Structure 1
């Protein structure tokens, strides 16, 4: 254990000083662990990879992710840190009305947490530099290689829920994580001895059945992953996405541990006025690049880009079954420059149905050159015909139109 003396007062452990300072700079929780290899996590991740369940957005080198000394050769201790992003607001997604609203994961309501957590960890490192000669330290947020939840669990910050989220006593799973690897020898904290018991609410509530067994999430089915993946979302999973446009909180919302979690209400994570908790789906589908940067640029939802959010908005509009969305979807299927948005808009029109949607799809079919989008259009037309028992009409004659032809 490291100790420090101040002005002749009693010795205060460096571990206590670190945790106190971390709270002063904006963290809610801090814990300390050894910089030993995470052998359990390595076995689990290697098993997931063989099953095709390894997340696409993470570092591919599993050994690197699970060994602090690969990232900082002198590492002896790990400081795990967390800040709650729970606010008093509730999501307000709606299907009805002339402007249906989508559902945004809580972690994307406020400012992007990555620079915030990174800056606060740098303050902790500077604090250590003033107390420890020859300090070596490296900080990571969730965009770095380490397995953040395993680092936090091994340090005694929290425990795994059956939904594979990390739960922090008092704060639930609504916590952003970061870690500092350092060459300072610090006394480790004991593990948290809490668990989910026989509760399986998250497993039952998952809209796509992605939690295939306790602690094992298939990212290929997880809605949060689907809203962030590139390309076209598998058709069979689109209906289960509901109105979600970025992330998914279902397995956390139903969790009893989160029911009474502390509402930190930090100002930096309050819903931003440009987006709120439930952004306009039509507004998302039709937004310009400048509007995207102004509205979503400050949030954690921006990293996947405008195209991904617009694809998700089109799918959510289809799931809303709201005819008010047809004009915006009709324009998107005919004129959007991105095939994945045109294809998703076609699917949405087929799901909403009706004469106006059918006419828009026929018009789009005459203009489309992308094979994948053409298939989406044909499938959507067939869906509407099947729903209304309408025979397929002959192809309409080529006619001039003020709308430009869609290409790639």
Structure 2
């Protein structure tokens, strides 16, 4: 097999199945990334969602014996939605980040990579392949940067000239020695809008993120949201797009050619009070196809309470009292207690006083007592 000719065929095939960009790099280790990841761990900036073994994340040969190359792919997703419903008094709405619009991108990209694998094996039956998307050991962004998909921006995203940073990434390790693509020059220049506008200061400096302060991370945790972040979450129920929406390289970038990522406005801008009514089954039936549902309903519902406070939605007080009184989840009771303190009403304060006498969970009691001080 002539590898050069086959590489051209592979690129053509990739585009024919809806892969927007494809690039190639060697399976050599990532020494710079290794140092950055070690520093992240030392500083306590890692989210904990990543593969914990830094060697696996930075040495592809550990993942596929005799690996020679890595194929990187990118698929664009939309930045705008048609007929977005308005949030109004009595019908307040949250927002899912753009990366959770439409079908779960893990599913879509894995299907594309599976087709690529089948194409490769058709022409090279002895090829060794290993694909991954997001949850794999390798850093999607480090691979994409080296494979010429885009440059690694100050906001820790990969920015492509064609689609901005609105792209999903995936990769495939192989023992076929493809010709490496040429990496791109950094085009952020002196711009630091993303660093200056990040609501929580999570972007420490260009290319360095304290994930523990990132709203995208915080909205996915299952514990109480630290008080310093509650007002900053706004109406986000999953993820955060601020460092993307302010980026000049994303101006005017909107691609809706992948129908599977077309957002359902009622799902990605959900009514907050009905969101609180879901049980596990109905939540999965409604949102299970979205990537934002991967942590289940609990973080989303906790964030919905915070969003109701953001809107000062006093119509939510009866529901919040009900959660405080009878929800079996301490995090939900605690968040409801905080919310009732923020919305301050006679009925809310009465419910808090009653709860103070019966609550046994310390995290809830702390929130109840703090809320009563706001009387």
Count of residue correspondences: 375
Q: State the distance in 2 between where 1:203 and 1:40 align.
A: 22
1:337-356 pair list within 5 angstroms? 337-356=328-347
- Paired position in structure 2 for 1:156: 148
CA contact (8 A) 1:286 1:328 kept: no
Query: 21-30 or 149-158: which moved more?
Result: 21-30
CA contact (8 A) 2:93 2:235 kept: yes
- Paired position in structure 1 for 2:368: 377
2:273 to 277, 282, 297: 282
1:100-111 pair list within 5 angstroms? 100-111=92-103
Q: State the distance in 1 between where 2:351 and 2:102 align.
A: 37
1:256-267 pair list within 5 angstroms? 256-267=248-259
Which gives a bigger RCO, structure 1 or 2 (Cα 8 Å, sep 6+)?
2
| 2:209 is aligned with 1:210 | no
| C-alpha distance 227-81 of structure 1, shift in aligned 2 (>3 A) | same
Look at both structures and tell me which one has the larger radius of gyration over its CA atoms: 1
Aligned with 1:169: secondary structure? coil
TM-score when scaled to structure 1? 0.88
RMSD (CA atoms): 1.7
Q: State the distance in 2 between where 1:228 and 1:182 align.
A: 33
- Paired position in structure 1 for 2:189: 197
Would you identify which runs of 4 or more consecutive aligned residues in structure 1 move more than 3 Å? 90-96
Q: State the distance in 1 between where 2:181 and 2:314 align.
A: 56
CA contact (8 A) 2:155 2:206 kept: yes
| 2:2 is aligned with 1:3 | yes
CA contact (8 A) 1:148 1:179 kept: yes
CA contact (8 A) 1:292 1:306 kept: yes
More helix by percentage? 2
| 2:228 is aligned with 1:228 | no
1:17 to 9, 16, 19: 9
1:321 to 312, 319, 341: 312
1:70 to 62, 71, 95: 62
| C-alpha distance 78-119 of structure 1, shift in aligned 2 (>3 A) | same
| C-alpha distance 93-381 of structure 1, shift in aligned 2 (>3 A) | farther
| 2:295 is aligned with 1:307 | no
Aligned with 1:46: secondary structure? helix
Q: Report the Cα offset of residue 310 of structure 1.
A: 1.1
Aligned with 1:27: secondary structure? coil
Q: State the distance in 1 between where 2:240 and 2:18 align.
A: 26
Q: Report the Cα offset of residue 3 of structure 1.
A: 3.5
Q: State the distance in 1 between where 2:33 and 2:241 align.
A: 24
| C-alpha distance 148-304 of structure 1, shift in aligned 2 (>3 A) | same
| C-alpha distance 294-133 of structure 1, shift in aligned 2 (>3 A) | closer
Q: State the distance in 1 between where 2:11 and 2:274 align.
A: 44
Give unpaired runs (5+ residues) of structure 2. none
Aligned with 1:264: secondary structure? coil
Aligned with 2:75: secondary structure? strand
| C-alpha distance 278-262 of structure 1, shift in aligned 2 (>3 A) | closer
Q: State the distance in 2 between where 1:204 and 1:374 align.
A: 36
Q: Report the Cα offset of residue 184 of structure 1.
A: 0.4
1:229-244 pair list within 5 angstroms? 229-244=221-236
Give unpaired runs (5+ residues) of structure 1. 5-11, 386-408
Q: State the distance in 2 between where 1:23 and 1:107 align.
A: 21
Query: 48-57 or 18-27: which moved more?
Result: 18-27
Q: Report the Cα offset of residue 272 of structure 1.
A: 3.0
| C-alpha distance 363-26 of structure 1, shift in aligned 2 (>3 A) | farther
2:177 to 162, 181, 185: 185
Aligned with 1:220: secondary structure? helix
Once the two structures are superposed, residues 44-76 of structure 1 have per-residue CA deviations (whole angstroms, 9 ceiling, x without a partner) of 000111111112101100111111111001110
Q: State the distance in 2 between where 1:131 and 1:107 align.
A: 34
Q: Report the Cα offset of residue 236 of structure 1.
A: 1.1
Q: State the distance in 1 between where 2:212 and 2:86 align.
A: 26
| 2:19 is aligned with 1:35 | no
| C-alpha distance 362-265 of structure 1, shift in aligned 2 (>3 A) | farther
Q: State the distance in 2 between where 1:299 and 1:130 align.
A: 32
1:115 to 94, 107, 110: 107
Q: Report the Cα offset of residue 259 of structure 1.
A: 0.9
